[in-house]
Amino acid sequence: MSTFRNLLSFVLLFSFPSPLLFAQNVDPSKRPLAQQTPATNAAGKTYIFEQSRGNGGEIQQIATGGQPALTTQQGIPISDNQNSLKLGDRGPTLLEDFKLREKLFHFDHERIPERVVHARGFGVHGYFENYESLSDVTSADLFQRAGEKTPAFVRFSTVAGSKGSPDLARDVRGFAVKLYTRQGNWDLVGNNIPVFFIQDAIKFPDLIHAAKPEPDRGFPQAQTAHDNFWDFISLTPESMHMVMWIMSDRAIPRSFRFMEGFGVHTFRLVNEDGKSTFVKFHWKPMQGLQSVTWNEAVKINGADPDYHRRDLWSAIESGNHPQWELGLQLFDDDFADNFDFDILDATKIIPEELVPVRPVGRLVLNRRVDNFFAETEQVAFCTQNIPPGIDFSNDPLLQGRNFSYLDTQLKRLGSPNFTHLPINAPQCPVSHFQQDGHMAMKNPKGRVNYEPNSWQVGPRAKPKKAFQSFPSDDVGTKRRIRTETFSDHYSQARQFYISQTAIEQQHIADALVFELSKVETVPIRVRMVSHLVNIDKDLAVKVALGLGLSDMPQPAEAARPTRDDLKPSPALSILKNGPKSFAGRTVGILVSDGFDVDQLQALLKAIKDEGASAKIVAPQVGLVKASNDKPFKADEKIDGGPSVLFDAVALLVTDEAAKGLAGDIATRDFVSDAIAHRKFIAYTAAAKSLLEMTPGLQPKQDQWVAIDQAQGIDDFITRCRGLRVWNADELESDPAKQ
């Protein structure tokens, strides 16, 4: 009770804030440059970390208390490990930054033979079809002709886990698209989340080191629920927007087919006249959005760790080809200069309500690979691969990726000739003088391998229709700096949270409690909650209660106060953007010997007409005897096909079978999980006793649908279009917080 009283007092205090509680909301220039914070580690030893405010207002750790200074591998002391060397406040990253290059180079070569990140992936072939000419904004060849189809290869992946990790780890999903255009390969290497943890590429090795299994023990695998990750995150305020996304249901998608993709960074489109337009790339699933719950994710990983891979394979095999629309957010320099946040900051989004997403084409995935290793494993994506008409911005995270990806592929695939591999080779003419080297599969012939030459041999540079960088006017002093426009770390995190429905907000709170409960060092938990106070006070209280904290921490020091004027963005919620049909989903149908075959056939027809599929689950895998005494093939045994693998379930069993199944643990789990996960359940009169065998687990209104009559089947399919049985109040977020 004392713990709850303490938290309640803080809730009241938040309702009537005092000057002391929100004393951090002061002019950043008047704050002290350094702050020492004592804490206690798991061993009970007191340690001190010192925070210093950088030139752009970001909070940095610096060595103190006898800690050695950070150096390069050559022993050269490092002044700043948070910012790469740039030209001016917002200019491009400079190639002379040897610290950045050394750090990324070493990181790129850490893992043999699998990828350092995105090791677990699944690739498929398809095509991109252009809706209309975009010649007004870009000279990129693939966007010039309506209806033209460009070959594509897409690799989906998790980030943190190894190749053997399960598909439904709570993680970011990679969404990498290789388009084989007439003017060379374009690699749009994105994620299913539009923002990232960090603002500068120099911090990427530290982020991944913190997220990966702890190096002294090699676990936990494919999860961030441990001290190292949350220690790094809690000391990196710029990560708070991304924290909201990864703790949301976006990090546990139902399928690759039901998640969005984003280019993350701001790019440029350049037209034939040299005019530049800024662009953000979006992939919108035409199947709608859908995620699973955490309890489902845990159980799916046990029942089928290849769940996402199998789903995509089966969808293409059945002819249910997944599709996404490519959408562009287009804006000019005036908008960029006047937007509330910096468009070069990869931890920020541009809300769709401010700049609508313009659909320009569709991506269709229609062919599986012939050889997983030759294609999915050997495909090499490089963010630097862009055709004429597309160009980079000065986003410091993107500029670092342009260096790192090429270096990674050189190491992973063994040679600069990885472009000779069929999956990486352009499907357009290639002319250059680069030859020889390890594993060269083809080489030019003759005496000339340089340009210019007097022999009239080989290619020549031709400026027309060739790639030319946009001539941006970048001037300034060379400095390691984080511009002040990057310093608001909490406002968009808050906007994301208040844009969620009430049930989605609860899932975020539950995820934070679960993750932080695995953190053994209490000060790290406290420090993380102090950041949540800046995002949403009610969220902070929920997490503090869940962690059993006796006192609510003061809000973390903020470089800029959290803005409370940002409106909810409906586009950020999964449940507000759900599908309009049940197409592409799967129904698990539990049957027993003697089931009504006519009833089953009617249900299967309705499911097929909706564009969905079905799996037959039975007490024993193989043949089941139908009511007409004919054998019927079952796809799964009950304990091998639990209800978590399906989007909805149906129970078609006889009275006698229901009595026997009532005592079967696997059957009880099948039914109780379907009820608990709020899935729609079709049942026959004989099967109703199975629904009533779980005392204390009450169904939601209209969750059970009787299908003894034909109208019942139609009703079941109609309800399934809503996917789950959420209460009306759970589909609305709290207006008081908006």
The catalytic residue positions are: 118, 191
**What are the φ/ψ torsions at residue 308 (nearest 5 degrees)?**
-70, -40
Residue 303 tokens read as 């029942």
Residue 553 tokens read as 């921490």
Strands (E), 639-712: 648-652, 681-683, 704-706
- Please state, in angstroms and rounded to a whole number, the distance separating the CA atoms of residues 738 and 567: 7
Alpha helical stretches, state H, 452-560: 491-498, 502-517, 522-535, 537-547
CA terminus-to-terminus distance, the chain: 31
Residue 250 tokens read as 């976006």
- Please state, in angstroms and rounded to a whole number, the distance separating the CA atoms of residues 29 and 364: 52
**559 Cβ partners below 8 Å, 6+ apart?**
28, 53, 57, 58, 59, 237, 487, 488, 489
DSSP output for 226-280: SHHHHHHHHT-GGGHHHHHHHTSGGGSBS-GGG--EE--S-EEEE-TT--EEEEE
- Please state, in angstroms and rounded to a whole number, the distance separating the CA atoms of residues 341 and 357: 18
Distance of CA 238 to the CA centre of its chain: 17
Determine contact, residues 544/530, Cβ cutoff 8 Å: no
- Please state, in angstroms and rounded to a whole number, the distance separating the CA atoms of residues 307 and 259: 15
- Please state, in angstroms and rounded to a whole number, the distance separating the CA atoms of residues 630 and 609: 25
Characterize the bridge pairing of strands 478-480 and 173-181: unpaired
Determine contact, residues 362/128, Cβ cutoff 8 Å: yes
Residue 321 tokens read as 């080809």
* Identity of residue 220: P
**HSE value, Cβ hemisphere, 13 Å, CA-based, for 264:** 26
**What are the φ/ψ torsions at residue 479 (nearest 5 degrees)?**
-150, 150
Quick one: which of 381, 383, 424, 406 has its CA closest to 118? 381
Determine contact, residues 363/283, Cβ cutoff 8 Å: yes
Quick one: which of 726, 619, 721 has its CA closest to 664? 619
Long-range contacts of 376-379 (CB under 8 A, 24+ apart): 376/121, 376/122, 376/123, 376/155, 377/121, 378/413, 378/418, 378/421, 378/423, 378/424, 379/123, 379/153, 379/155, 379/178, 379/423, 379/424
